[in-house]
Chain A
Amino acid sequence: MKSTKYTEKVLDHFRNPRNVGTLEGDDVAVGKVGNPTCGDIMEVFIKIDGDKIVDAKFRTFGCGSAIATTSMTTEMVKGMTLDEAMELTRQDVADELDGLPPIKMHCSNLAADALHEAIKSYRKGRGEEVSDESELVKEEVECLIGKDEFLDKGVSLSVENLDDFIDQRVLVLYSGDESVDTAINLTEVTERVILLTPDDTLVINPELAERLANSSVKVLYQSRLLEVRGEFEVEKVLIKNLDEDEEYELFVDQVVIIE
């Protein structure tokens, strides 16, 4: 089956998704799965009364089947007890949509997983015992391979002359206000500036935060630079997404490390 050969039901849920949006309140739980690298992120919100799911909403970034499966999942769970909802599988959702192309079964049919995450987080919030194997403490590695090797061959410890960075893809490591200021200044000469931080927020002064928000700097949160790579000079970097525990390569021309 071609990736775009979807059943009528899938197409209907893609065109007219049910229950788009978010829910709030003490009786609401949210589950999030997927990651942007695979091209899918799904959030499922459930509202719970006693042990019954009384409402469900979702938001999805992803392909046609990703949107359709999350939509269908929210339709299916309304009225279910939490135990029943925990039993709902990816296959159930796919069946209800009259099937999915085989290649899509894995990548985009994660809605049931998001639902289970939501239920677990609700139960945990109420002090119930929940089996959770995903909460391993991750060790942080503090070394950067290639920094010395590529020093002045694409790795710099300061930005002296903006002209050296014209149309360059620049990665700036966050190390406080000065690094953010440098990143913003670089956008005068190049459209591609990425600011990398291991944290999920930046601790900077409000005026700088606003300048950053209005700039074209792309901030990558929860990300660590593991390695600088290239033949003779910087050509790419290996980045670890700490949230997803995943490593990927990114093509860049310059790495700025202000210590």
Chain B
Amino acid sequence: MKEIYLDNQSAKPVDSRVIEEMMPYFAEKYGNPSALHTTGDIATEALEESRKSIANFINADEDEIIFTSGATEAINIGIIGYALKNKRKGNHIIISEVEHISIHNIAKYLSREGFEISKAPVDIYGRVDMRKLERRITDKTILISVGYASNEIGTIQPIREIGKLAEEKGIAFHSDAVAAEGLVPIDVKRDGIHLMALSSNDLYGPKGVGVLYMRKKYRVNPIMIGGGQELGIRSGSEDVPGIVGMKAAAEIMQKEMPGEVKRFTGYRDRMIKQILEEIPDSYLNGHPTERLASNTHVRFDGIEGESILLSFKDKGIAISTGSACTSKTLEPSHTLIATGLLHEEAHGSLQITTGRFNTSQDIDSVLKVVPEIVTRLRNLSPIYKAKKV
């Protein structure tokens, strides 16, 4: 039996329409966009069409789109590249406590290289506290990085407010938009974003492709040196088939997003409501309304996430958890801890993320097994004591 896949935050299938558009670019239209002959021209045209399309998707200009090998690379160039370019102006960078782990690790790296890092706290729902963010700004602050939405708990940040604050203070604003793309309409001009990372796979395009949005006058230093492709910011011959795939994915997304968001919101609200009603001592993680349509994140007292994940796996359902026991470091999710949870609470979380190919029946299957999984694990647990009602 095919596994019911509800871990769309970690990887998504590539849409078959995307694969179809990519196919000619492997063996027929294989040219290098830097070459001046006709074979090269065909590739250049595909590359520039893609750039136009992605720019349109986020309301950017074409010359502000840099293709990369994925979101992690885009984030590295965006943050490290900007920090290196502007270190004479200042050495202070602010990130939020709930950034993706890659940004926490980049911050660690930059602090070893002489930069000062401050982390802005979030509220109980995981939203950046604007007052606390603003108080951290000094005359040495050159960059603020706050992800558009949390890849874990799905909370959407007050992006426009942060963009406005950054603009007023003359500070660059970087946002990792990977979790939000395809679920929230992104408009870099309206949102006041200067640097932003996108991934192709999160739009149901191929893995291994991403974009750095780099606004004019917010140039970064390259961190990889080579032949000067992509405005000299990201050298290396462009992955034309992958880029065409990302373009196709973005175009489909632009058309289908409103319907999808509506469908996912229905799934999400049904799951949250039923789980919280049926399971005693269960709680929602993240914001009740300012959250990604695809994200359901709940926790249960007295049980542990990896056990929940394995139990779902046995039932043929793929989900995710904030538990330490599934991570490489055995540390609980820094995002859940930042919302004020104790370690043992953070361990007992269940994350369900829906995607384009899920159906209402998939949601039924989840809701059917949640009570028995939680009850079984609680019966095994020495720390779960049901509250008297």
- A63 and B381 CA atoms in complex are apart in Å by 11
Answer whether residue A64 sits at the interface, using C-beta atoms and an 8 A cutoff. yes
Asked whether B389 lies within 8 Å of A214 as measured between CB atoms, the reply is yes
Of the stretches B77-85, B182-190, B303-311, B360-368, the one at the interface is B303-311
User: How close is A237's CB to chain B, nearest CB, in angstroms?
Assistant: 10
Asked whether A192 lies within 8 Å of B380 as measured between CB atoms, the reply is no
Answer whether residue B339 sits at the interface, using C-beta atoms and an 8 A cutoff. yes
Answer whether residue A36 sits at the interface, using C-beta atoms and an 8 A cutoff. yes
Given A63-B325, A107-B330, A192-B340: A39 touches B304 (CB 8 Å cut-off): yes
Chain B 113-151 residues near chain A, CB threshold 8 A: 118, 121-125, 132, 135-136
Cβ contacts under 8 Å, B380 to chain A: 17, 20, 59-61, 67
Asked whether A232 lies within 8 Å of B135 as measured between CB atoms, the reply is yes
Asked whether B381 lies within 8 Å of A59 as measured between CB atoms, the reply is yes
Cβ contacts under 8 Å, B330 to chain A: 38-39, 103, 107
Given A3-B326, A231-B118, A248-B343: A61 touches B381 (CB 8 Å cut-off): yes
Closest to A70 in B: B380
Given A3-B326, A63-B307, A107-B325: A15 touches B332 (CB 8 Å cut-off): no
Cβ contacts under 8 Å, B347 to chain A: 36, 39
Answer whether residue A184 sits at the interface, using C-beta atoms and an 8 A cutoff. no
User: How close is A169's CB to chain B, nearest CB, in angstroms?
Assistant: 4
Answer whether residue B26 sits at the interface, using C-beta atoms and an 8 A cutoff. no
The residue in A39, A104, A232, A236 that gathers the most chain B C-beta atoms within 10 A of its C-beta is A39
B277-296 to A contact mask, C-beta < 8 Å, 1/0: 00000000000000000000
- A3 and B343 CA atoms in complex are apart in Å by 19
Cβ contacts under 8 Å, B302 to chain A: 61
Among candidates B125, B304, B382, residue contacting A63 with C-beta atoms closer than 8 Å? B304
- A190 and B309 CA atoms in complex are apart in Å by 30
- A233 and B313 CA atoms in complex are apart in Å by 44
Among candidates A4, A36, A214, residue contacting B310 with C-beta atoms closer than 8 Å? A4
Closest to A15 in B: B314
Answer whether residue A131 sits at the interface, using C-beta atoms and an 8 A cutoff. no
User: How close is A18's CB to chain B, nearest CB, in angstroms?
Assistant: 12
Answer whether residue A227 sits at the interface, using C-beta atoms and an 8 A cutoff. no
User: How close is B327's CB to chain A, nearest CB, in angstroms?
Assistant: 8
Asked whether B306 lies within 8 Å of A36 as measured between CB atoms, the reply is no
A166-180 to B contact mask, C-beta < 8 Å, 1/0: 011100000000000
Asked whether A39 lies within 8 Å of B382 as measured between CB atoms, the reply is no
User: How close is B389's CB to chain A, nearest CB, in angstroms?
Assistant: 7
Cβ contacts under 8 Å, B121 to chain A: 235-236, 251
Asked whether A108 lies within 8 Å of B325 as measured between CB atoms, the reply is yes
Among candidates A3, A108, A168, A250, residue contacting B342 with C-beta atoms closer than 8 Å? A250
Chain B 348-389 residues near chain A, CB threshold 8 A: 379-384, 387-389
Chain B 311-342 residues near chain A, CB threshold 8 A: 313-314, 323-328, 330, 332, 337-340, 342
User: How close is A230's CB to chain B, nearest CB, in angstroms?
Assistant: 8
Cβ contacts under 8 Å, B342 to chain A: 36, 218, 220, 250
Among candidates B122, B136, B326, B389, residue contacting A231 with C-beta atoms closer than 8 Å? B136
Given A36-B344, A107-B330, A214-B389: A14 touches B310 (CB 8 Å cut-off): yes
Given A250-B340, A251-B340: A3 touches B325 (CB 8 Å cut-off): yes
Query: Size range of the interface on B?
Result: 35 or more
- A32 and B381 CA atoms in complex are apart in Å by 13
Chain A 200-236 residues near chain B, CB threshold 8 A: 213-214, 218, 220, 231-233, 235-236
Asked whether A41 lies within 8 Å of B135 as measured between CB atoms, the reply is no
Closest to B131 in A: A233
Answer whether residue A79 sits at the interface, using C-beta atoms and an 8 A cutoff. no
- A66 and B305 CA atoms in complex are apart in Å by 12
Answer whether residue A96 sits at the interface, using C-beta atoms and an 8 A cutoff. no
User: How close is B341's CB to chain A, nearest CB, in angstroms?
Assistant: 8
Answer whether residue A134 sits at the interface, using C-beta atoms and an 8 A cutoff. no
Asked whether B383 lies within 8 Å of A41 as measured between CB atoms, the reply is yes
Answer whether residue A252 sits at the interface, using C-beta atoms and an 8 A cutoff. yes
Given A59-B381, A67-B380: A251 touches B306 (CB 8 Å cut-off): no
Cβ contacts under 8 Å, A214 to chain B: 387-389
Asked whether A4 lies within 8 Å of B124 as measured between CB atoms, the reply is no
Asked whether A167 lies within 8 Å of B306 as measured between CB atoms, the reply is no
Asked whether A63 lies within 8 Å of B340 as measured between CB atoms, the reply is no
Answer whether residue A191 sits at the interface, using C-beta atoms and an 8 A cutoff. yes
Asked whether A167 lies within 8 Å of B325 as measured between CB atoms, the reply is no
- A253 and B338 CA atoms in complex are apart in Å by 11
- A251 and B302 CA atoms in complex are apart in Å by 21
Asked whether A4 lies within 8 Å of B344 as measured between CB atoms, the reply is no
Cβ contacts under 8 Å, A218 to chain B: 342
- A218 and B387 CA atoms in complex are apart in Å by 11
Among candidates B324, B338, B382, residue contacting A61 with C-beta atoms closer than 8 Å? B382
The residue in A3, A213, A232, A252 that gathers the most chain B C-beta atoms within 10 A of its C-beta is A3
- A66 and B302 CA atoms in complex are apart in Å by 14
Cβ contacts under 8 Å, B123 to chain A: 167, 253
A30-51 to B contact mask, C-beta < 8 Å, 1/0: 0010001111111100000000
The residue in B125, B304, B305 that gathers the most chain A C-beta atoms within 10 A of its C-beta is B304
- A40 and B305 CA atoms in complex are apart in Å by 11
Which 10 pairs show the lowest CB-CB distances between chains A and B? A36-B344, A63-B306, A63-B325, A59-B382, A169-B340, A37-B343, A61-B381, A251-B340, A39-B347, A64-B310
Given contacts A4-B310, A37-B343, 19 further A-B pairs with CB under 8 A are A3-B325, A36-B383, A39-B325, A39-B347, A42-B382, A59-B381, A61-B344, A61-B384, A62-B325, A64-B307, A66-B304, A67-B307, A107-B325, A108-B325, A168-B124, A213-B387, A231-B135, A232-B132, A250-B342
A-B contact pairs, 17 of them (CB 8 A): A4-B306, A36-B347, A37-B343, A39-B332, A41-B383, A60-B380, A60-B381, A64-B306, A168-B124, A190-B124, A191-B124, A231-B135, A231-B136, A232-B132, A235-B121, A248-B343, A253-B124
